[in-house]
Structure formats: structure tokens, C-alpha cells
DNA sequence: GTCTAACTGGCACGTTGTGCCAAAAAGTCT
DNA sequence: AGACTTTTTGGCACAACGTGCCAGTTAGAC
């Protein structure tokens, strides 16, 4: 197993999250457009130059918040019992990763809803899911025998990632709370389930 | 039907494509990073200021080339016979839209492969598909009765769009030609077919 | 031809993001 | 502890980005 990250690395990750927090508050308040990178840096107690050592673009600053759920999802999927079919494992880990047990997770989820309203942050949202899709692809490949068709693995990763993305986008525009009916957990599980099970809509004739 | 676009609009669209062409050549040659917006403007015979009236970002300049196929796909789907199931209509229109009959289409397809190698253009690629997904969603909604679950429509649009994207990405990294075995037409049809038909991989147990 | 509306180019300007270098901090040895 | 190496940090300069503004030009309608 990989050893515990060194102190320096943990400090760096902590700083990264502090910046993300500050950026999210500013973006939510004034919008990403009207927020300068320097303001984010000041609010984080670092210099502008240092900010760009943590994030390559201004908008990227909130990526850690938007990506947290997806990373947890892939990790849970990779650790899930191997006697489960892929679809079952995906559905269960999705539901679990979308259940904010930790307070930090719930916070990230609420920020997601807030940040998704800003069209300027759409590209970060897309990029986060592209990364998530790639990680999921690797995780699915690990679960399958070596000879498995690479194209099918890619398709599976893309479809599952799209399901989660659609679920979160739907939750964001709806007024539903973070738990209970209409919650990300419910929507996410339903989306993964329906998409992997085959949509009834496919057979629809006008 | 909507009337024929006015001369001014057609001229504008033509200029837009000329800029896209020039940008694609420069991006392919030196990479998007090393190409300045001013160089694209000069190569297109327009001023820098005018360039930014056609495209909001430097990288956006190649969007028309990357989006051409997707636009054709949605149009073909919307016009396809309404007695076909959704999946059939999607698969057929995908295959047709990915068959470069026009020389302009074939060119756009070859540019796509070239431009996908540049990581700097990944965000444009994502944005183009996000737009395509939204248009496809509207087209699918038109084909379904008013009461149809909006979430399921979103899922269908997202899955189908992802299928095409994966097919093109796979084609880009493979050395396959634009027609024949391994072509976008074949890969696209296969991806849509498998994804809408249900992946065998979903039931895989390690 | 005249008038209106749209397109174009140049300029100024704040912001973005990076290369470079010296100072400070953290980690690693004896 | 102290001396050493490695990493992080901040300030500065700078090219490039993207936009507001205004004046000159062009296209289309009457």
C-alpha cells in the first residue's frame, strides 16, 4: 500500500482546501466573473503568485469541492466487494458517496449546487467529470479480465459518470434538500440504475 | 419553416468558418498554447478586436469544426422517421452524420482527430458536447409525449452524447481511417447500439 | 441618394497566468 | 544543537488575454 502522505503534502492539501473554500464563498457571492484571482489570494492569506502555484486557473480554485464526491465514488467502487456485478457495485457506491455523512461532504454538496448556477464555472464542472470518468475507467478495467474490450470499458465509465452528473445537475435545479426524497443519493442511484438497466425510453415510438 | 438566412448572416457564418480553419491549422502546427489570438486574426485577415467578436476565447475558434458533426447528428435525428424507436433513430442518424459525404465534413473530421491531441483544447471539446447534449435533449423531448419524465430524457441525451464522444475519442487515438473498419461511422453506431442496448459489461462479476 | 443598422478596427485598460530570483520555511543529516 | 539540502513563498516584470469605448466603414431598406 502507499504510505501515509508526508506532513508537507498534508499541509499543502489543507491550504488547497482553504483556498477552495474562500473561492467558493466569493464566487457564490459575486460570481466568478466579478471575482479576481487576487481577491481569492487575499481572502486565503496568500500571495497572488502562490495562488497560481496551487491552481492553474482562477476557476479551478473550486475544483476540489466539485471533485470530492466523484473521488469518493471511485474509491468506494474500487473497494467494493468483487462478487458484485459491476452495475450493482456502481449503484451502491454511488448512493453511498452521495450520502453526506461527514460535515465536509455535506458542505461540498451544498457548494456544488450553488456553484452550478454560475455559467462561468461550467468548464470546471465538465473537467472535473472528465477526470472522474478517467479514474472510473481505470477502476472498471481493474475489475475486468485483461482481455476485455477497451471500448466497452470506456463506454461504461462514460455512461456511469454521465448518470451521476445528470443526477447532480437535476438536484441542483430542483429545490430538493441534501437528504430524503429528491436528494442526490436517491437521484444518483436511480440514474445509475436506469441507465445501466436500459432506459424504457429507448424503445419509445412516437 | 424558418426563412433562408440573410446575406449578412451567411457572410458572417462564412467568416466564422474561415477563422476556424486558420485557427485549426495554427493549433495543429504549433499547438494552441503557442498560438496567439493575434496570429489567428492575422491569418484570417481580420483585426484582433474583430476576432473577439466572433469567438469569446482563443480556443473557441475551432469549435465550429468540432461541433459540425454533432449538429448534423441532432438535425438528422429530429428529421428521422417518427415510426422508428428512439434508439434506432439515434443509431441511424449517428451513422449517417459520421459518414463524411461532403468534403467539408471529412475535413472537419480529420481536424477533430488532430485537435484532440492538444490537451489545451480539451475544454472546447467538452463544451461542444455539452451544447450537443442540450440540443439532443430538446430533440428527444420533442419526440416524446409531454408527460415524459424529464430526468429520463436528460439521461438518454447524456448517454447518447457520451457514446458519440467516446467513439470519436477512440477513433482519434487509433490510427483508423475516416472510412471503412474502425471508422467513426462504425464506432459511433456500435457505441450507440451497445449503450442503448445494455452493455454486457454491467453484469460482469470479477 | 438617404437613412438606419450592423460590422470593423484601433486604442486604452484591468486582468490573467508565467518566468525568474531571492528570502523564508521545513525537513534531514551528523 | 548546528549545518545542509529541499521545498515553499512572494515580489517583480512581462507577454497575452479579453472588454469597453468610439469613430470609420459597409450593407440593406426605403
CATH number for position A79: 1.10.357.10
CA A145, CA A132: separation in Å to the nearest integer? 22
- Give which of B64, B204, B173, B53 is closest to B128, Cα–Cα: B64
Crossing angle of the two packed helices B63-79 and B103-115, in degrees rounded to 10 = 130
Distance, Å, B109 CA → D14 C1'? 38
Boundary of a domain, candidates B45, B61, B77:
B61
Q: Which residues of B touch A190 (CB under 8 A)?
A: 151
- Quickly count: other Cβ atoms within 10 Å of residue A190's Cβ: 19
Crossing angle of the two packed helices B7-30 and B37-44, in degrees rounded to 10 = 130
Of B86, B152, B203, the CB nearest to A87: B203
The shortest C-alpha distance from A137 to chain B (Å) reads: 12
Q: Answer for A47: CB within 7 Å of strand D.
A: yes
Q: What is the pLDDT of residue B3?
A: 53
Q: Which residues of A touch B144 (CB under 8 A)?
A: 201, 204, 206
CA B123, CA B115: separation in Å to the nearest integer? 12
Residues B45 and B95 in one domain: no
The reply to whether A196 touches chain B by the CB within 8 Å rule is yes
From residue B113, alpha-carbon distances to B58, B75, B125 in Å are: 19, 23, 11
Residues A39 and A76 in one domain: no
Question: Taking the complete model, does pTM exceed 0.85, yes or no?
Answer: yes
Residue A2: is its pLDDT beyond 70? Answer: no
Q: What is the pLDDT of residue A189?
A: 97
- Is B205 close to A85, i.e. CB distance below 8 A? yes
Q: What is the pLDDT of residue A132?
A: 98
Q: Answer for A38: CB within 7 Å of strand C.
A: yes
The answer to whether residue B2 sits within a structural domain is no
Domain extent for B149:
62-203
Specify the number of domains making up chain A: 2
Q: Which long-range contacts (CB under 8 A, 24 or more apart) does B181-188 make?
A: B183/B98, B184/B69, B184/B98, B184/B109, B185/B95, B185/B98, B185/B99, B187/A151, B188/B94, B188/B95, B188/B98, B188/B163, B188/B164
- Is B154 close to A144, i.e. CB distance below 8 A? no
For the record, the C-alpha cell of B15 comes out as 467568416
The shortest C-alpha distance from A162 to chain B (Å) reads: 6
Binning pLDDT at 50, 70 and 90, where does residue A9 land? confident
Residue B200: is its pLDDT beyond 90? Answer: no
Residues 6+ apart with CB under 8 A from A90: A77, A160, A192, A196
Q: What is the pLDDT of residue B119?
A: 96
| Chain B residue at shortest CA distance from A153 | B201
The reply to whether A174 touches chain B by the CB within 8 Å rule is no
Residues B105 and B15 in one domain: no
Residues A47 and A96 in one domain: no
Protein residue closest to D6, using CA and C1': A8
Which of the nucleotides in strand C have any atom less than 7 Å away from a protein CB atom? 6-11, 15-20, 26-28
Distance, Å, B2 CA → C1 C1'? 33
The per-residue b/e assignment along B76-111, b for 16 or more CB within 10 angstroms, e otherwise, is: bbbebeeebebbbbbbbbbbbbbbbeeeebebbbbb
Residues 6+ apart with CB under 8 A from B59: B32, B120, B121, B123, B124
- Quickly count: other Cβ atoms within 10 Å of residue B5's Cβ: 11
Q: What is the pLDDT of residue B1?
A: 42
- Quickly count helices (H) and strands (E) in chain A: 9, 0
SS3 labels along B113-155: HHHCCCHHHHHHHHHHHHHHHHHHHHHHHHHCCCCCCHHHHHH
Residues B16 and B111 in one domain: no
Q: What is the mean pLDDT of residues A178-189?
A: 94
Residues A45 and A128 in one domain: no
Boundary of a domain, candidates B28, B46, B61:
B61
Residues B166 and B115 in one domain: yes
Amino acid at each position: 500500500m502507499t504510505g501515509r502522505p508526508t506532513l508537507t503534502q498534508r499541509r499543502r492539501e489543507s491550504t488547497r482546501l482553504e483556498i477552495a473554500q474562500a473561492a467558493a464563498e466569493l464566487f457564490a457571492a459575486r460570481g466568478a466573473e466579478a471575482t479576481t484571482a487576487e481577491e481569492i489570494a487575499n481572502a486565503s492569506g496568500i500571495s497572488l503568485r502562490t495562488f497560481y502555484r496551487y491552481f492553474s486557473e482562477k476557476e479551478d480554485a473550486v475544483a476540489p469541492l466539485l471533485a470530492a464526491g466523484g473521488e469518493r465514488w471511485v474509491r468506494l467502487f474500487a473497494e467494493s466487494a468483487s462478487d458484485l456485478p459491476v452495475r450493482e457495485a456502481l449503484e451502491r457506491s454511488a448512493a453511498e458517496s452521495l450520502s453526506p455523512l461527514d460535515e465536509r461532504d455535506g458542505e461540498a454538496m451544498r457548494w456544488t449546487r450553488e456553484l452550478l448556477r454560475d455559467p462561468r464555472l461550467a468548464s470546471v464542472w465538465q473537467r472535473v467529470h472528465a477526470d472522474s470518468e478517467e479514474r472510473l475507467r481505470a477502476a472498471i478495467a481493474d475489475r475486468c479480465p485483461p482481455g476485455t474490450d477497451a471500448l466497452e470499458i470506456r463506454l461504461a465509465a462514460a455512461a456511469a459518470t454521465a448518470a451521476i452528473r445528470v443526477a447532480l445537475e437535476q438536484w441542483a435545479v430542483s429545490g430538493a434538500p441534501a437528504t430524503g426524497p429528491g436528494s442526490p443519493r436517491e437521484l444518483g442511484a436511480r440514474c445509475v440504475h436506469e441507465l445501466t438497466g436500459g432506459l424504457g425510453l429507448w424503445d419509445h415510438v412516437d
